[in-house]
């Protein structure tokens, strides 16, 4: 009687085991393919660097680099995220050069009927003029003369007319020259301009050499800027 009563119980246990095995078999594929709740897909990131920084997608080949199919910017495995460059400080403009007004060494008493005296200008028309606040530090800076040169063609034409010249010089034959050169702080005013011929010598080219010599002496501190201005304006021929 005991064996007969035990048979139904054994049958029930066998059926229960079969049901458990069947349930596990059905659940296994779903568990194998379902992604973890925390994992994201590569489509959630714009580039490799963003995916590498997040570190929450699947690394298919196990090389430590996530979402290798995404475009760069890229990061190497374990590299920190790139930092934004520090903003550049705004450029500070160079201080403006303060030269002051044009100041004639003597009053201009004639504006027409001017006559040159050999290689020297008419002092009534061209007494020489300088910038009132120019300094040695300014005139000795490389490129100073070209930065302040400002004599228009119409101004040159007016200088030729004032001196009664119809022929204009071309540089080789002469020029409209600054009596006090720009390198020595001279201004671009009419009071500092005169037509200077290259011949007979000494002429415009010899005066150019004197200007360079005086400029070197000024910048070396051998003579003062004001002394050089008076020297070349008074009689540059004897200043050589």
Taking 3-state DSSP, the helix, strand and coil percentages for the chain, each rounded to the nearest 5, stand at 40, 10, 50
Tokens 């699947």 belong to which residue?
Answer: 58
Lowest mean pLDDT among 19-23, 64-68, 211-215, 220-224: 19-23
Tokens of 189: 């005013």
- The whole-number pLDDT of residue 1 equals 46
SS3 state of residue 195: strand
DSSP secondary structure, 132-148, as one string? TT--HHHHTSTTHHHHH
- The whole-number pLDDT of residue 35 equals 43
pTM above threshold 0.95: no
Q: 155 pLDDT exceeds 80? A: yes
- The whole-number pLDDT of residue 124 equals 98
Q: For 213-222, what is the mean pLDDT?
A: 97
In contact, 17 and 44? CB cutoff 8 Å: no
Q: For 84-108, what is the mean pLDDT?
A: 75
Enumerate the β-bridge partners of residue 16: none
What 71-80 contacts at long range (C-beta under 8 Å, 24+ apart), as own/partner pairs, is: 71/47, 72/47, 72/48, 73/47, 73/48, 73/49, 74/47, 74/48, 74/49, 75/48, 75/49, 77/52, 79/52
Tokens 């003029």 belong to which residue?
Answer: 129
pLDDT tens digit string along 171-215? 999 999 999 999 999 999 999 999 999 999 999 999 999 999 999
Cis ω for the linkage preceding 128 (within 30 of 0): no
Torsion 141-143-146-148 (CA) sign: negative
């Amino acid at each position: 009687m005991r064996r007969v009563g035990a048979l139904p119980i054994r049958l029930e246990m066998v059926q229960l085991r079969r049901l458990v095995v069947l349930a596990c078999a059905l659940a296994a594929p779903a568990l194998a393919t379902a992604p973890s709740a925390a994992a994201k897909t590569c489509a959630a990131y714009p580039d490799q660097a963003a995916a590498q920084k997040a570190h929450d997608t699947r690394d298919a080949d196990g090389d430590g680099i996530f979402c290798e199919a995404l475009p760069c910017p890229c990061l190497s495995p374990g590299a920190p995220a790139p930092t934004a460059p520090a903003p550049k400080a705004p450029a500070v403009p160079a201080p403006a050069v303060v030269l002051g007004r044009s100041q004639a060494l003597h009053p201009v008493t004639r504006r027409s009927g001017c006559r040159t005296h050999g290689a020297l200008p008419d002092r009534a028309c061209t007494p020489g003029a300088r910038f009132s606040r120019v300094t040695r530090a300014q005139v000795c800076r490389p490129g100073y003369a070209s930065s302040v040169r400002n004599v228009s063609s119409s101004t040159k034409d007016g200088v030729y007319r004032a001196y009664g010249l119809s022929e204009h010089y071309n540089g080789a034959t002469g020029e409209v020259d600054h009596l006090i050169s720009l390198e020595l702080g001279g201004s671009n005013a009419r009071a500092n301009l005169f037509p200077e011929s290259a011949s007979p010598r000494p002429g415009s080219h010899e005066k150019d050499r004197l200007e360079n010599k005086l400029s070197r002496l000024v910048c070396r501190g051998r003579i003062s800027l004001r002394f050089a201005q008076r020297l070349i304006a008074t009689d540059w021929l004897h200043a050589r």
